[in-house]
Structure 1
Amino acid sequence: MLSPEKAIPNSDYESVGDDQEEFIDFEKLFSIARRQWMVVAVSIFVFLLLGIAYLLTAVPQFTATTSVLIDRGNSEILNQLANMGVQVDDDGAILSEVELFKSDTVGLAVVDKLNLLDNPVFMSAPPSLSSMIRSAFNVRKWFSDSSDGVVDQDVRRMKAATNVANNMDVERTGKSYALSISYTSTSPELAASIADSIANAYLLDKLNSKYDATRRASDWLQKRIDELRQKALDSDLAVQKFRSEHGLVAVSTNGSSLLLSDQQLSELNSALITAQSDTAKAQAKYDRVKAIIDSGKTDAIVNDVLDSSISNDLRKKYLEASKFESELEARVGADHIQAVKLRGEMAEYKRLMFEELNRIAESYQSELEVAQTREKSLADSVAHATGISSAANETQVQLRELERNADTYKNLYQTFLTRFQEASQQQSFPITESRIITKAQVPTRPSTPKKPLILALAIFAGAMFGGSIGAYREFRDRFFRTGEQVRDELGMEYIGHVPLMSEAELAPPPATSSGSPRDLSDVSLATRYVVNHPLSAFAETLRSAKLAVDMANPGKRCKIIGIISSLPGEGKSTVSINFAQLLAMQGSRTLLLDGDLRNPGATRAIGRHAENGIIETLLDKRPVRDSVLVDSKTKLAFVAAVVKRRMPHSSDLLSSPLMANLLEEMSGFFDYIVIDLPPLGPVVDAKAVGPMLDASLAVIEWGHTSRRVVRSTFSSHPELIQKCLGVILNKVDTAKLKLYHSYGSGEYYYSRYSAYYHES
């Protein structure tokens, strides 16, 4: 007998197994694949048929390809000519060129050049399975006016250009500056022609856009030049007018412009410096002469004395007289008359010499006065000119601002004039930064449909679709399939399974001569399956149940066993009847009670002719022996539930002391008492009988009863489930059971077990 903790199902139950389970259970994946392979195979087959239908109805499409190179060398030439042109140094520039290929300008140019509006191959869409499907699901077309009307020519051109863009594919070749342009059409010649026309239209559009841009730049520059020319003239005129109003006369000196007042001040400063130098020189000469005169030295010499012939003669005579006087004084003495006379001449000569020096000193003094006067005059002139220059400098601040504005407008005018000349020359250069490097060739093989790819995609899509359906079916499969699920979900022992019976096994038994009215009357062969097939898997499962009952209650003389299920229709009554038959076949005195007083399935199966049953025994106090039916072959005793009226209080009757006394009384005559109890879900009758049971067996329909329902119903009957010895899976499809096996499980070795089972 299981413990309450293990027997009562719990939604939070954790299966007991290896703590180190694999992250991916490959056994389960393989089992799922075995179960759902048919769904996947059917899906692949259906999608493969759709792919073949598409290939049979699809019109072959031909793709022609041309290549255009974004030539960076030419772009650099354009930049040198006009600082304009497309730079293709990044992915953004390449993507911009790709969008230019798909523009309406290129598309319309191709339409007009090839006259595609009159080309029936281009204008008519080829019928195909995909186009018919798109047309069928085009909801807008359902509500549009289908009447033929006059279509505007511009609208037709735009539709044709859109068709060109839709069938065109532009891709960058690796990391290079080459673009591959492909066009797809039902006609190989038309595909090649349109591909070449797209490349040529692109180059022509680049030339036209460059010409238009240059022309617009020239027009703008022309207007700007006229404006700058006028501003340059106005600024020059403002400078000249300001000079005239403020007397700022300028003179040119060595290529530079200088105000007249500044030039005069500069000249006066130079003259003043010269005058100051002359005054200093005259003062030095006068002071020297004055010093000689004051000292009385006759040997002192100045430049003007040397230059004077008079001074030189007097000095010469003075020196000669001095020489004679010295010689004479040495011979005759100092008092000699001749010596005295010579000394008198020397004194005269000296006087005359100093007179000459005084005359020279007066000339030096005159020169000094003249120099001083000139210096003073120049200083006054410099002071006056400085005042004039200071006033002019204050005004010149505004003049320099006007001159800067004039120079700015002059430079702008010269720059824009140069750019205008360059832009004018640029219009005559038919050069672009792109060129065609590969011309489109007429394709010899269709590019679409790609048969291997379509078939591979169809198989892949079918596998994915079938796998999705299979995964959904597995997700929705919330029923009990294996004993491992019983143990994991319910924490209960798994006794075994009962195979699903065939139509022949469920057929009515052959008619036999009726014996005693106390004999069982079988409605179906299913109620005597273990009698007719004692070596079957069904019988072996019931033997396992008997063994579990015996081991759970080894010392008890009579064992009261309840057969339960969660829902009606799970085959509980059939299992109860066969289990009781098995016990009786093995020589045990066995009593089968139909405890389902509201829906007596066992009574309908083997005792529908009974007139009295358990209700009459309990309520009318009739002897139980008057209600017992007996199987003539196995000696199984059966007490039916003859329901003659509805019983709203059946649970009270089953839990009453009368029922307890009845079971106590029957325990003295039988080894086993098997009670076919009502299902746990709809009613509480089984719960009422629970305290009187020694054990119970649960029956669950394989593949039909939800695991959630079983957990819910079992958890609401803990006392009854505590006595449950295990679970029997009923109506098992043995052909499908092998799809749910995993390595090491009982289902995995079922093919080996089957050698011990004989259904015949």
Structure 2
Amino acid sequence: MAQIDRHIAAADWIGRSSIDRPPSSEPDKSAEIGDLWRILTVRRAWVLGTAALLTFIAVAYGFLAPPLYAATAQILIDPRDKQIVTNDVNPVAMAPDGGVMQVESQARVIESDSVLTRAARDAGLLDDPDFGGVGTGFLSWTLRTLQGEGAAPATDAAAEARAVRALRRRLAVKRADKVFVVDVVVTAGNPDKAARIVNAIAAAYLKDQTSARADAASRASSEMASRLDDLRKRVNVAENKVETFKAENGLITASGQLISEQQLAESNNRIVAARARTAEARTRLQQIKDARGSTAFGPDTAPEAIQSAVIERLRSQYAELASKEADLRTQLGNRHPFIEAVRTQMQDVKRLTETELTRIARSAETDYQRAVANEKALTANLDELKRGSIVTGEASVRLRELEREVDTSRAVYSNFLNRSREIQEQTGIDTTNARVISWARPPAERSWPLRLLLFVGGLVSGLGLGAGLAFVREYLDPTVLSRRQMERLSHTSVVATYPEFKAGSERPASVAASLTLDRLASVRGQIHPPGQALSVLVTSAASDTADRRSTIHLLAAVATARGERVLVVEADLEATPEENASGPGLIEVLRGEVGMAAAAKADAESGAARIGIGDLAKASREALSRANIEQFLAAAKSSFDLILIDGGVLTGNLRIGPLAAASDRLLIVAKNGATRQRDLLDILDISEVLGRPVSGSLFVDRYAAAA
């Protein structure tokens, strides 16, 4: 159905004076969300044409461009290096960020000049014309001449630089998230060449890493070797200081210790041993003295100090004699001579034992005196050594400080020497933990151009660019997009909204025309006496000529069907002769050559009376005077109920200005997406100048749904 607002009051569009009407504004370049689709629909030729052009270009490129093939090799880079030796030059611990930064750095190494130069040399790209090689053809010579390289001799450095630049443009090094695998992709016009170059880059990277590790170890070894000489000299200087200090202070060492300290320790040990021997001799002497005064004398009662072989034999003899005496006393009696002889022998044994004890006591006394004398001598020697140690104490402190310096210098020198030897051995060991897990193979399918992708990309980009051009075109030359925008621009209400005049829109268009006539009737009843006719001049922009005529024809048909007498007056002086009705018309009536009844003819389609424009050659200023026009309108109002005047394009039809000024109402027909805002504003300005401001507008909505 047509979009018709039945609640608009008639007073909203009753003619206003030019004093009350706001001044004309600039074109409204704003657009609502719903207007964007209308802009694209109206200017679809821009959108579709741009899309078709870009799609054609993309597809043509897809068929004409030489094919390119992409070969890929995958390299696994483990941030943890191989732990071959314990003290490696390179760290093996995992970085806090999981080694991702290290792998990213290695990916940049693959793109470095050193790796690409090695790969270009190994893959034979220095002489390849696709990678900057010097061709032998006339075209290559011409290009070199234009670039200023024709006379310059080609060098290996220049060829390598050109090959590296060309290779870098065709190289892509990528790494997926959360993996340590790096993809090396090279694009070339030949699949075998692409695979060969990728494999050369992978091999060059591994060789570069091995060489870099070896160079790092070699540099570290050289630096440590140069440092070893300084450390060796420092150790020699420290040792010479120690020896000089010992010689100056008489500090003699043996087995790493001062002689005086060794003597002091040994003297102290001897004193301890001497005191032990003295105590032992004193104890032994006392035991012997105690044993001599004891009456008991037997093997078990003799102390350990006087136990000797002689005493043991004498004790045995004494025991035998005592046993023999007891036997004889039992057999022979107590006074037998044999018993006396035995007793005499026993007395001799006691005397011999006492003599032996006296000898042992004198020997123990001698040993005790000797031990005491030895102890005193050792004590005196120790006191002397102590006094000498006190004298050399300060020198010993300085000596120990110098010896610590020697030990420190010697330890550092030893560590550097061992580390230097280890690093020298590591120069031939590769600790790089990187390997190629997938060598490149010649690709079977091209990687570029992808015709389907180009087609879709050209189509999408064309649609986007076309839409942008449509919006720019609309911004530069805006049209009326919506009913609200029409009301803002014209400062009047939209009387009714018509659907686009096409098949199937008859019913909603008739409803809109009926609403327009109702509002015209309400206005006529408010400002004119009852029964007096109303004259309405209808104008539009040049782009809306067909819609203006269709609207006038529809209003005439609906009004006639409602029983009203309708007169349609053609007042478009810019119409072509073919568009004018034959015979006398408005010009002749205004000139007084014919009467209105003779000029008016019945329209078979609408049923209304119709007066054509007449002979345009007679449209003089006198014929179109205000008096003639007012006289004509008065005569028409006396015979008809509604006079519809086709005012054409008012901006180009200024000669009918008196007719517009004499008309009761001025309606403007506009169509969204077709009526230029500039044309609409010009009509509004002209109507203000003519003294008949636009009373309302009839809006043709091409997007309104037909019933």
Q: Tell me whether the two structures share a fold, i.e. TM-score over 0.5.
A: yes
1:593-623, CA deviations, whole angstroms, 9 ceiling, x for partnerless residues?
99xxxx9879x986456777xxxxxxxxxxx
Give 1:727's aligned residue.
Answer: 697
Give 1:697's aligned residue.
Answer: 667
1:345-388, CA deviations, whole angstroms, 9 ceiling, x for partnerless residues?
xxxxxxxxxxxxxxxxxxxxx99x999x9999899869956863
CA contact (8 A) 2:35 2:482 kept: no
Q: How does 1:705-744 map to 2 (within 5 A)?
A: 705-706=675-676, 726-729=696-699, 740-741=702-703
Letter in 2 for 1:179: V
CA contact (8 A) 1:40 1:465 kept: yes
Give 1:307's aligned residue.
Answer: 289
Distance change in 2, residues 1:460/1:697 (3 Å): closer
Distance change in 2, residues 1:717/1:63 (3 Å): closer
Distance change in 2, residues 1:588/1:215 (3 Å): same
Distance change in 2, residues 1:270/1:418 (3 Å): closer
Distance change in 2, residues 1:80/1:57 (3 Å): farther
Whole-angstrom CA distance in 1 between matches of 2:82 and 2:551: 98
Letter in 2 for 1:425: E
Q: How does 1:592-631 map to 2 (within 5 A)?
A: 607-608=586-587, 631=599
Q: In the alignment, is residue 67 of structure 1 matched against residue 35 of structure 2?
A: no
Give 1:180's aligned residue.
Answer: 183
Q: In the alignment, is residue 422 of structure 1 matched against residue 422 of structure 2?
A: yes
1:70-97, CA deviations, whole angstroms, 9 ceiling, x for partnerless residues?
3677x32345363327878512222222
Whole-angstrom CA distance in 2 between matches of 1:269 and 1:721: 142
CA contact (8 A) 1:576 1:676 kept: no
Distance change in 2, residues 1:56/1:212 (3 Å): same
Distance change in 2, residues 1:178/1:541 (3 Å): closer
Give 1:94's aligned residue.
Answer: 103
Give 1:439's aligned residue.
Answer: 439
Distance change in 2, residues 1:125/1:46 (3 Å): farther
Letter in 2 for 1:632: A
- 3-state DSSP of counterpart to 1:68: strand
- 3-state DSSP of counterpart to 1:424: helix
1:387-409, CA deviations, whole angstroms, 9 ceiling, x for partnerless residues?
6366457xx3x555544433332
CA drift of 1:417 comes to 0.5
Give 2:358's aligned residue.
Answer: none
Give 2:198's aligned residue.
Answer: 195
CA contact (8 A) 1:678 1:686 kept: no
Letter in 2 for 1:495: A
Q: How does 1:275-354 map to 2 (within 5 A)?
A: 307=289
Whole-angstrom CA distance in 2 between matches of 1:483 and 1:117: 71
Q: Which has the higher contact order (CA 8 A, sep 6+)?
A: 2
Letter in 2 for 1:48: T
| Residue from 594, 600, 603 that aligns with 1:632 | 600
Q: How does 1:22-421 map to 2 (within 5 A)?
A: 35=42, 39-70=46-77, 75-78=81-84, 80=86, 82-84=88-90, 90-119=99-128, 144-145=147-148, 149-172=152-175, 175-245=178-248, 247=249, 249=251, 251=253, 257=257, 260=260, 307=289, 388=391, 391-392=394-395, 396=397, 399=399, 401-421=401-421
CA drift of 1:748 comes to 0.3
CA contact (8 A) 1:232 1:410 kept: yes
Q: How does 1:668-687 map to 2 (within 5 A)?
A: none
Task: Name the stretch that deviates more: 675-684 or 148-157.
Answer: 675-684
- 3-state DSSP of counterpart to 2:82: helix
Distance change in 2, residues 1:400/1:696 (3 Å): farther
CA contact (8 A) 2:145 2:151 kept: no
Letter in 2 for 1:455: F
CA drift of 1:463 comes to 3.4
CA drift of 1:238 comes to 2.7
Whole-angstrom CA distance in 2 between matches of 1:64 and 1:198: 12
Distance change in 2, residues 1:215/1:377 (3 Å): closer
Gaps in structure 1 of 5+ consecutive residues: 13-23, 127-134, 286-302, 314-365, 502-534, 613-624, 648-652, 742-746, 753-760
Give 1:353's aligned residue.
Answer: none
Q: In the alignment, is residue 449 of structure 1 matched against residue 485 of structure 2?
A: no
Distance change in 2, residues 1:222/1:444 (3 Å): same
Whole-angstrom CA distance in 1 between matches of 2:216 and 2:276: 72
Q: How does 1:568-583 map to 2 (within 5 A)?
A: none
Letter in 2 for 1:82: D
CA contact (8 A) 2:68 2:190 kept: yes
1:150-181, CA deviations, whole angstroms, 9 ceiling, x for partnerless residues?
43332122212332333333334664444333
Letter in 2 for 1:440: A
Q: How does 1:471-490 map to 2 (within 5 A)?
A: 471-472=471-472, 478-480=478-480, 483=483, 486=486
| Residue from 545, 551, 562 that aligns with 2:522 | 551
Distance change in 2, residues 1:682/1:44 (3 Å): closer
- TM-score w.r.t. length of structure 1: 0.56
Whole-angstrom CA distance in 1 between matches of 2:403 and 2:683: 105
Whole-angstrom CA distance in 2 between matches of 1:379 and 1:202: 77
Give 1:292's aligned residue.
Answer: none
CA contact (8 A) 2:570 2:611 kept: no
Distance change in 2, residues 1:438/1:690 (3 Å): closer
Whole-angstrom CA distance in 1 between matches of 2:541 and 2:251: 123
Letter in 2 for 1:59: P
Distance change in 2, residues 1:564/1:236 (3 Å): farther
Whole-angstrom CA distance in 2 between matches of 1:646 and 1:552: 27
CA drift of 1:673 comes to 7.5
Whole-angstrom CA distance in 2 between matches of 1:691 and 1:37: 40
CA contact (8 A) 2:267 2:381 kept: yes
Whole-angstrom CA distance in 1 between matches of 2:130 and 2:559: 89
- 3-state DSSP of counterpart to 2:75: strand
Letter in 1 for 2:191: P
1:285-313, CA deviations, whole angstroms, 9 ceiling, x for partnerless residues?
9xxxxxxxxxxxxxxxxx97993999999
Give 1:462's aligned residue.
Answer: 462
Whole-angstrom CA distance in 1 between matches of 2:542 and 2:42: 28
Whole-angstrom CA distance in 1 between matches of 2:178 and 2:425: 35
Whole-angstrom CA distance in 1 between matches of 2:540 and 2:566: 28
- 3-state DSSP of counterpart to 2:429: coil
Letter in 2 for 1:46: L
CA contact (8 A) 2:10 2:519 kept: no
Gaps in structure 2 of 5+ consecutive residues: 1-8, 26-31, 296-368, 602-608
CA contact (8 A) 1:117 1:123 kept: yes
CA drift of 1:641 comes to 9.5
CA contact (8 A) 1:60 1:448 kept: yes
CA drift of 1:722 comes to 13
Distance change in 2, residues 1:118/1:709 (3 Å): closer
Whole-angstrom CA distance in 1 between matches of 2:611 and 2:666: 19
- 3-state DSSP of counterpart to 2:126: helix
CA contact (8 A) 1:486 1:494 kept: no
CA drift of 1:414 comes to 0.9
